[in-house]
Amino acid sequence: MIESVIADPSAHEKFLWRNDALEIWGSSVVHVSAVGHASVASVFEGIKAYWNPDREQLYCFRLEEHMERLVASARLARIQCRWTVAELVKATLDLLRANDSRRDTYIRPWLFAKGLMRDQMVPAGVATELVIDTWPFTTSSADHAVRAGISTWTRISERLMPPRIKAFSNYSNGRLGMIEAQLNGYDCPIFLNELGFVTESAGACIAIVRKGVVLTPPLSAGILESITRDTLLTLLPEMSYAYREQDITRTDLYMASEAFFMGTGWEVMPIKQVDQMTYPSSAPGEYTRKIRERYLQLVRGESGQHHEWLTPVWKQDS
Ligand code: PMP
């Protein structure tokens, strides 16, 4: 299952970061009356830091871009964010150092409406809190491939709320699709948009391989502006693989030779079946395997490439 990437669901670090200060994880609380509204007006990020044992270094992957997306999510959701990207990057590094994080670590910042809002539904400009929490994860094995099913739930569209940002409210859609998929015996859903084109899954974007070209839906299909997707679209030409961003139909999904999900949490996840139709090359197919290898080497700082995407937590490499 995809959840297996969390090393130990009950594990936590000593500190989390909250509103400019480190707080002891176990004593960091909010009042129960604040929870409902905070979950409506709330945006978040999912970031990974990878441990490189040879260099004894922890690399945060595209930390700045994730914090830029958090600030953009807040702006679009009209939630006040009084922290700059630079402050959020520094806060994350301070937290990882305070926790002496020297293993693969997931980083979860989230920003939510503060206090007990009893009269109005979270007006714009209300004060907010920002928390950063971290926990260990492990990367699932290369031969782990998932079975996906087309969801009967339509993906939220630009006409409803912005799918491009990480607002917790958007994830009601993903959650319903995930539950439905698992009840039907799949690992995860694939959502179509209102026009019937493929969008993404509940926690990752999607790409297929057809006639030697990697195809992925455009942002206008109604998908999260994924940082992993952007990473792979940069890596593909470097690997001499052709790609196109284009609308993908259900038939395209079935006719592909390979397919994979991409996201910070799911990394590059091979898909072995869609709607019980098994891909001809046993997943991971050749493209997916090579793309996955390249991605995992890069994020761990093993490929020597794109150092601009890696923020070291510990003393700089010599
Ligand atoms: N789509 C959705 C709905 C997601 O939740 C995620 C995970 N953040 C992604 C795509 C992949 O985005 P990223 O590569 O930035 O993690």
- Per-residue pLDDT tens digits for 283-299: 899 999 999 999 999 99
Residue 2 has pLDDT above 90, yes or no: no
pTM of the model: 0.96
Q: Whose CA is nearest to atom 5 of ligand 1?
A: 203
| Cα(213) to centroid(ligand 1), Å | 22
pLDDT at 4: 47
What mean pLDDT is reported for the chain?
94
pLDDT at 107: 98
Q: Could you tell me what percent of the chain has a pLDDT over 90? A: 85
**Is residue 57 within 8 Å of residue 307, measured between CB atoms?**
no
Residue 42 has pLDDT above 50, yes or no: yes
Q: What average pLDDT does this structure show over 97-117? A: 95
Q: Whose CA is nearest to atom 7 of ligand 1?
A: 203
| Cα(226) to centroid(ligand 1), Å | 5
**Is residue 166 within 8 Å of residue 31, measured between CB atoms?**
no
pLDDT at 11: 87
The answer to which of 2-6, 67-71, 123-127, 180-184 has the lowest mean pLDDT is: 2-6
pLDDT at 142: 67
Among 228, 261, 298, 299, say which to mutate for ligand 1: greatest number of ligand atoms within 8 Å of CB: 228
Q: Cβ neighbours of residue 278 under 8 Å, at least 6 residues apart?
A: 272
Residue 317 has pLDDT above 70, yes or no: no
pLDDT digits (tens, 9 = 90+) for 203-227: 999 999 999 999 999 999 999 999 9
| Cα(224) to centroid(ligand 1), Å | 6
